[in-house]
Chain A
Amino acid sequence: MPHDHSDHAHPHSLLPSDPALRVKALETILTQKGLIDPAALDEIIDTYENKIGPRNGAHVVARAWADPYFKAALLEDADAVVSEMGYYGRQGEHMVVVENTAQVHNMVVCTLCSCYPWPLLGIPPGWYKSDAYRARAVREPRKVLADFGVTLPEDTAVRVWDSTAEVRYLVLPMRPEGSEGLEEAGLMDLVSRDAMIGCALAGTP
């Protein structure tokens, strides 16, 4: 029988129960053993606090709104397009972009854990990882949207993408009316993180 450790004792209970002390204890032991370098941890934190975040995704969306050829390529093969923009990486190895229209509104969830397109959106917000979102998004997406203050037209269908594999989804929101004259930077300002998860609409100029 293959090994399954679920019914064995859980070694984590040997660590302090206070989470801050837990992390500190693990970091200390691992550093002493030479298995981690605290400077590498600083580097990882700096990457996700300052370098990789939802402005990457907003850049992709703004370009798709402005350039129909770019948009067609993005919807056809997002990996190639975002790689070219420098937005390929961990937790975004297999990207698919889904387009919102008047007929279909897309939302993304991971009911089983917290899968999320890190290179385009950064690390997921607390609510995306919450039990409430994971439990409810698939069963009552419209009530979840209401929690965000969003109401869809009655004739718009909702498609909820449950990220059960290593494919990561990004929602391409509908371009808002009145944004015709805006340059890329102005368009990016209309694209929130939540809109690219499908829990908000694009902002209005």
Chain B
Amino acid sequence: MSRVHDMGGRFGDGPVIPEEEGVMFHADWHPRALAVTLACGSLGLWNIDVSRHARESLAPMDYARFSYYEKWMAALADLLVDTGALSADELAQGKASSDSPLAAKRLEPGAVAAVLAKGGPADRPSTVPARFAPGDTVEIRAFAENVTVPGGHTRLPEYAAGAKGTILRLHGSHVLPDSSAHRLGEAAEPLYAVAVRAVDIWAHPEHPQDEVILDLWDSYLAPG
């Protein structure tokens, strides 16, 4: 069973509404929400997988009714309390009750450009050998769940679980989100682009030649 965020293939969401290239935000608080989230990321209290899992762990009702940046704000508040950066009391009172020892790690205005330019690469050396090569047939894990942590984070979407696929390319070895999201180590392993045929995953594919490509880790795959 997957979580509410895993919506690929879902029915009933209505049309996609295009918008002009110059539209970046839809409310005055949106850029602020973006910036607060990015600035807090610099404190080093969590990695990208932990933060994704925090958003995915919002109650399904909240995930569905919150707008995009509301999800970010809710997950950020949860993470700040979970990691001890803020107390629940401070959130409830709307003011700080003490200084933080983490203040030394605060993102300074002069460091923003360098931090954004540096990014956070996810490729790592790994001792896990690449079992597959481009052209190989594979079978994707049958359940879109974290195999170590019940209800934990994974990047395998439900719609591709159990499908046959073909390796398109090897991306090198990358941090395994299923481990990293739970602070169990980076556990890097080979990451592949895997092609799945639309006819193999949808009851009513639009076209016999269409494909979906997913980036999947070695442990998500078995020889097909």
To the question of whether A and B form a pair in one complex, the answer is yes
A14, A91, A122 interface centre (most CB from chain B within 10 Å): A14
Check: B123 CB closer than 8 A to any chain A CB.
yes
The one of A4, A89, A132 that contacts B16, using a Cβ cutoff of 8 Å: A132
Check: B209 CB closer than 8 A to any chain A CB.
yes
The one of B36, B155, B156, B214 that contacts A27, using a Cβ cutoff of 8 Å: B36
User: Which residues of A107-166 have CB atoms within 8 Å of chain B's CB atoms?
Assistant: 109, 111-114, 119, 122-123, 125-127, 129-144, 147-148, 157-166
A129 to B109, CA, bound (A): 28
Are the CB atoms of A41 and B24 closer together than 8 Å?
no
Are the CB atoms of A139 and B91 closer together than 8 Å?
no
Residues of A within 8 A of B214 (CB): 162, 164
Are the CB atoms of B216 and A164 closer together than 8 Å?
yes
Are the CB atoms of B152 and A4 closer together than 8 Å?
yes
A49 to B30, CA, bound (A): 12
Are the CB atoms of B38 and A44 closer together than 8 Å?
yes
A140 to B201, CA, bound (A): 12
A12, A92, A193 interface centre (most CB from chain B within 10 Å): A12
Check: B35 CB closer than 8 A to any chain A CB.
yes
The one of A40, A111, A140 that contacts B39, using a Cβ cutoff of 8 Å: A40
A7 to B78, CA, bound (A): 12
The one of A10, A41, A112 that contacts B59, using a Cβ cutoff of 8 Å: A10
Check: B129 CB closer than 8 A to any chain A CB.
no
A193 to B23, CA, bound (A): 12
User: Which residues of A76-91 have CB atoms within 8 Å of chain B's CB atoms?
Assistant: 88-91
A157 to B199, CA, bound (A): 13
Residues of B within 8 A of A35 (CB): 40, 43, 85, 100, 102-103, 106
Residues of A within 8 A of B98 (CB): 33
Are the CB atoms of B74 and A37 closer together than 8 Å?
no
Residues of B within 8 A of A166 (CB): 48, 121-122, 174-175
The one of B21, B119, B120, B151 that contacts A7, using a Cβ cutoff of 8 Å: B151
A39 to B106, CA, bound (A): 12
Number of interface residues of B (CB under 8 A): 115
Instruction: For residue B45, give the distance in angstroms from its CB to the closest CB of chain A.
Output: 10
B48, B67, B86, B119 interface centre (most CB from chain A within 10 Å): B119
Check: B219 CB closer than 8 A to any chain A CB.
no
With A10-B58, A43-B113 known to touch, is A23 a contact of B29 (CB < 8 Å)? yes
Chain B residue nearest to A134 (CB atoms) is B7
Check: B143 CB closer than 8 A to any chain A CB.
no
Task: Report, nearest first, the 7 A-B pairs whose CB atoms are least far apart.
Answer: A111-B8, A34-B103, A157-B209, A165-B215, A32-B96, A41-B35, A166-B122
Identify the B interface with A (CB < 8 A). 5-11, 13-19, 21, 23-24, 26-29, 31-36, 38-40, 43, 48, 52, 54-59, 62, 67-70, 73-78, 80-82, 85-86, 88, 90-92, 94-96, 98-100, 102-103, 106-109, 111-113, 115-123, 148-152, 155-157, 159-160, 171, 174-175, 177, 182-184, 191, 193, 195, 202, 206-207, 209-217
Identify the A interface with B (CB < 8 A). 1-7, 10-12, 14-16, 19-20, 22-30, 32-37, 39-45, 47-49, 52, 54, 88-94, 96, 109, 111-114, 119, 122-123, 125-127, 129-144, 147-148, 157-167, 192-194, 199
Further 9 A-B residue pairs, CB within 8 A, beyond A35-B40, A48-B31, A90-B116: A19-B33, A26-B77, A37-B109, A90-B120, A94-B123, A131-B10, A135-B9, A138-B9, A166-B175
